[in-house]
Amino acid sequence: MTPDRWKQIEAIFHSALEREPGERSAFIATACAGDESLRSEVEPLVAASEREGDFLDSPAYEIAAEWIANSDADMLIGGQVNHYKILAQLGSGGMGEVYLAQDTKLGRKIALKLLPVSFTNDRARLQRFRQEARAASALNHPNIVTIHEIGEQNGSHFITTELVEGETLRERISGKQMKLAEAIDIVAQVASALSATHAAGIIHRDIKPENIMVREDGIIKVLDFGLAKLAFPQPEAVDTQAATRSMVKTNPGMVMGTVQYMSPEQARGQEVDARSDIWSLGVVLYEMVAGRVPFNGETPSHVLVSLMESEPPPLGRYTEAPAELERIVSKTLQKKRDERYQTARDLALDLRALNQASEVEARLRGSPGYLVSEGELAAEIRSGSAVESHRPDPKTSDVTPPRATSSPEYMVNRGVWHKRVVAPAAAAIVLAAVAYFIYFASSGGYSARGKNTIQSIAILPFRSQTGEVKEDFLGLGITNGIITRVSQTRALTVRPTSAILKYGNPAIDALQAARELEVDAVIEGTYLRIGDQLRVTVNLIRVEDGALLWTDNFYKHSTDIFAIQDQVSQEVAQRLQLKLSPSQLTKRNTSNPEAYNYYVKAMYHSSNIGPYLHSRTESDLAVDLFKKAIELDANYALAHAQLGYAYTKIAVFQEDNPALIEQARHELGIAERLDPQLAEVHAARYFIAFSQYDGWRVSSAIQELRMAQQLDPNVGHPELGDLYMHIGLDKQAVAEYELALKVDPNNETIKNAVVGLYFVTARPDEVLEASKRLFNRGPDYNYYMEKRMLKEAAPLVEQEYQKNPNSFESWDAIRIRGLWPALQGKHQEAQAAIPPILEKIRRNRGYHHVTYDIARIYALGGRSEEALKWLRITVTEGFPCYPLFARDSFLDPIRNETAFIQFMSEMKNLWEGYQTEFG
């Protein structure tokens, strides 16, 4: 249908309404004389208007843009808009022309949409569009297309989005009925996207198959958020005499499909809300299942009258649809908004419940048309085989049924079973379902079974929806609290806060972060703070297929961070079928939100205190923030413990200061009195025990870490592995590092520690294997030195020396300046390098490795007395590693010396004692 045709319809329609009702039929007959098609268009509109009011005068009837000719599209190919090079045309429609383009700045392909001038010449209308598009771009949801930029060039407005590879739902449907499970899954994903946007105050207004993309992996992307507002202006901004102008699709002569997806309130020009999108999505679902739209007609006029007055034909007329699906579709298509689903989230929950119930039914049947007898089923249940064989496939079902559908009663009461199942067979199915759910609940659900189940999870830093970059740790505070609570269940592996800190950047994709963290599921969240109000949005995503398992919104005062933590933790635990005890929710280290905020900031800076950070900026800031938290809450046990830990790390790594150790002991004592169950207290005390300040008391340090792990099994594994390595318990060391990597597999510090385990114990082949496995790195100069491959080592040693030729303050200095010449037989040069290095090197946690290499230098030169002296210093300084001394070929020149034999006998006895105590 062309624009001219609609102008003709509109003119006759308005003229008819200006006459008395009794005169209208005669007028229409005269005005449409000789054109029965025109008469059939006008009469239904007039009749509906008499019943419904002047709905045609309303702005919502302006469904899309004026007709846009695309004859100039080819001229743009090869050209450039801003920094986007146009490669090809992807499509066109009422919303504008869409092109494949190359972002020349970032080197990525994107979708670029040029907006029609008719959309953008109204400045107020354009401003509203920009506001809503920006709001949509702030959403971070797996089922919403990402908006990159909204821009203008030479008066032409454009919008760029991620390029979604796949096909539109319109192309997927292509006039055919879809499989029930596929249709439900698609609509559930769209409903999840709408739930997030509605929570942000955004209404799409144009849900239809053309605006839904289906990726090859089955992930759904909803398009054109924000553009709908541009196409559907607010009532006060509309020329009501132009109501029918935009009933035209892209090409002349074709009726625009959008009218078939309009809600009744849209057709009447009333204010739309979230429930209008739900209606449109219901139409999409009906069309996918039935193979046709629920409201149709020969003309747009007939369609409008149908959707406002008629009930859609039942799905059963076109397909064998479950009764529950009939109920869901019927509820989405209620004429009165109050009788529809009130939220898209409720619709998504019902759809996922239906899909899961259908899967269970299919598995219980074994194959289409097959039903076991009640007796057979009872026997299977007794043997356990029925439950085992009928368990849902994690690849196609959510982690756990939603709360409203977590019992077999839901399936019975809602009638989701196929309507052809006879009563005895239905009873048998329900019996099996009951058995399955009992087994499922008692065994902990999906938390620990099967390669596709959820056994590990990462909770990413929650991000501000405003996108403002400022020092606001509210999101990290929410995340930290949830991690603490969920990890306490000990039912699955939770990545620690230290592992997720680097994923706070909004540009980082949640699924990519999850894959790097090697988890089965990921939680991402956003928060919006307006005055004293706080809204937190949470998404739980399965990593394997990107499926959104759960999404929800929480509303609190901005000071109720603890309530948010508790609520989200409870929901996550429920979705993953974890048992979160009331004590785990009620126990808090502080009830002061401001003190907690200082603590979270302090922990962020404290995590940067280590052996390779020589600046005091981070450590001083961490100490100051911990103190502020304690000033606000003197009974904040965890803040006292972490302040003590910070003092210890500063004293060990940055400043020789015994007074700091005393301060640390004082803070740890306060923390323990306030809360004897803090693992952090024992973790900090290990650090003091195994240091120069406490005489390197290895056994005490190990005992402290073991006590810490009794309170929290996820802490202390790399530290304990390091201790075991230093005393020669290699098997135990490897086991601890493996546990550490299970908790945090992407932690480079832990990976380096694994490599270091073999390096410091003189096992170069194991070093190379671990380097390749963990870092994809080849041999370095240390490898060649340990293997005595001097020719290969030479250029690498020189290269390392040139990086910092004046350095005497690191472990590398003793290896390059002392050990390297000793291997070449330049013993005098090697031994001469020792004194200046000892003058510069600090007596910290790495000191015993320097002293051990000094012993090796003297041993290679045949000076057994000096070598033995430095070996004893090495032991005294915390490195009594008998297996290393026994295997190290660099010590071979002195191995037959009587004094060395006596030393090795002492070391063996000590090592055997360690094995007895800690083996």
Residue 571: C-alpha distances to residues 479, 565, 578, 882 (Å): 14, 10, 10, 51
Structure-token pair, residue 702: 């190990």
Residue 316: C-alpha distances to residues 260, 281, 286, 419, 727 (Å): 20, 19, 11, 10, 74
Name the amino acid, one letter, at 669. Answer: G
Strand ranges (DSSP E) for 543-580?
548-557
21-31 helix and 3-17 helix, angle to the nearest 10 degrees: 150
Name which of 491, 555, 565 is nearest 523 in CA terms: 565
User: What's the CA gap between 61 and 239, in Å, rounded?
Assistant: 11
Beta bridge partners of 113: 98, 159
Query: Chain-centre distance of CA 871, in angstroms?
Result: 50
Structure-token pair, residue 149: 């930029």
Q: Judging by DSSP bridges, how do beta strands 463-464 and 456-459 pair with one another?
A: unpaired
User: What's the CA gap between 437 and 549, in Å, rounded?
Assistant: 19
User: What's the CA gap between 362 and 364, in Å, rounded?
Assistant: 5
Q: Judging by DSSP bridges, how do beta strands 521-530 and 533-542 pair with one another?
A: antiparallel
* DSSP code string of 10-25: HHHHHHHHTS-HHHHH
CB 632, CB 602: distance < 8 Å: no
Edge-first strand listing for the sheet containing 84-93: 80-81, 84-93, 96-103, 108-114, 156-162, 147-153
C-beta neighbour count of 330 within 10 angstroms? 17
Name the amino acid, one letter, at 507. Answer: A
Beta bridge partners of 554: 536
593-606 helix and 474-487 helix, angle to the nearest 10 degrees: 90
Residue where the block lists tokens 């499909």 = 257
Residue 388: C-alpha distances to residues 361, 398, 405, 625, 712 (Å): 14, 18, 21, 53, 33
* DSSP code string of 754-798: HHHHHHTTT-HHHHHHHHHHHH-----HHHHHHTT-HHHHHHHHH
Q: Of 206, 566, 712, 722, which one is the catalytic site residue? A: 206
User: What's the CA gap between 330 and 325, in Å, rounded?
Assistant: 8
**Three-state SS across 312-342?**
CCCHHHCCCCCHHHHHHHHHHCCCCHHHCCC
User: What's the CA gap between 422 and 364, in Å, rounded?
Assistant: 15
Count each helix (H run) and each strand (E run) in the chain, helices first.
43, 15
Catalytic annotation present for 206: yes
Phi, psi of 5 (to 5 degrees): -65, -40
* DSSP code string of 94-111: TTEEEEEEEETTTTEEEE
C-beta neighbour count of 235 within 10 angstroms? 12
CB 882, CB 910: distance < 8 Å: yes
Beta bridge partners of 528: 535
Q: List helix spans (H) across 406-546.
A: 408-414, 423-442, 474-487, 497-500, 510-517
Angle at 882 between CA 876 and CA 884, to 5 degrees: 105
Residue 315: C-alpha distances to residues 311, 335, 349, 370 (Å): 12, 17, 21, 25
C-beta neighbour count of 613 within 10 angstroms? 14
Residues with catalytic roles? 206
